[in-house]
Amino acid sequence: MKTLFKTLLVLGLVLVIGAMVLGVSVIGLIGDAPGVHLTIDGDEVIWSGLGLADAFGAGLGLIITIGVLCLVLPLVLLLGLGLPLLILGGLLLAGIAALLGVGAVLGSPLILIGLIVWLLVRDKPRKQSSAPAAPAAGASSSTQTS
């Protein structure tokens, strides 16, 4: 199982890195193509003309986005879906335990009568006689003959 997990983890990382490389290359190709314009808030974005501050801001935005997708989204799903389901399962288990407890208390006279009947009806194991065991065939005796 550990080998399968490691293999899937490495394969996933390779696919993510490959997708990033393809995305950057597609952005580079689209930015150089004539007639393709990317407009954000009415301003045309020219990829080749990004200054250092703009590139830093874009990189910082990508880092924050990746952090949100990798950390915040799983926590929201875990706490938003997993925790209520865990609480619901715990309540169901507590209810079942309460029903079984009440059933045991209410049924205790019947359980006691059933135990007495079982003790009276069952076959008692026969005790073996306490005869001494025969010595093993290969055992040496204390008398020696010469």
Amino acid at 96: I
Give me the residue label for tokens 């150089």.
32
**Chain mean pLDDT for the chain:** 83
CA dist., res. 140 & res. 103, Å (int):
63
Residue range 17-36: average pLDDT? Answer: 80
CA dist., res. 1 & res. 7, Å (int):
10
Q: Are 40 and 57 in contact (CB under 8 A)?
A: no
The better pLDDT of the pair 46, 86 is held by: 86
Residue 142 in 3-state DSSP? coil
Q: Are 18 and 24 in contact (CB under 8 A)?
A: no
Predicted pLDDT at 58: 81
pLDDT tens string 67-116: 888 888 888 988 898 889 999 999 999 999 999 999 988 988 998 899 99
Integer-rounded Cα radius of gyration of the chain: 39
Q: Which two tokens stand for residue 97?
A: 């335990």
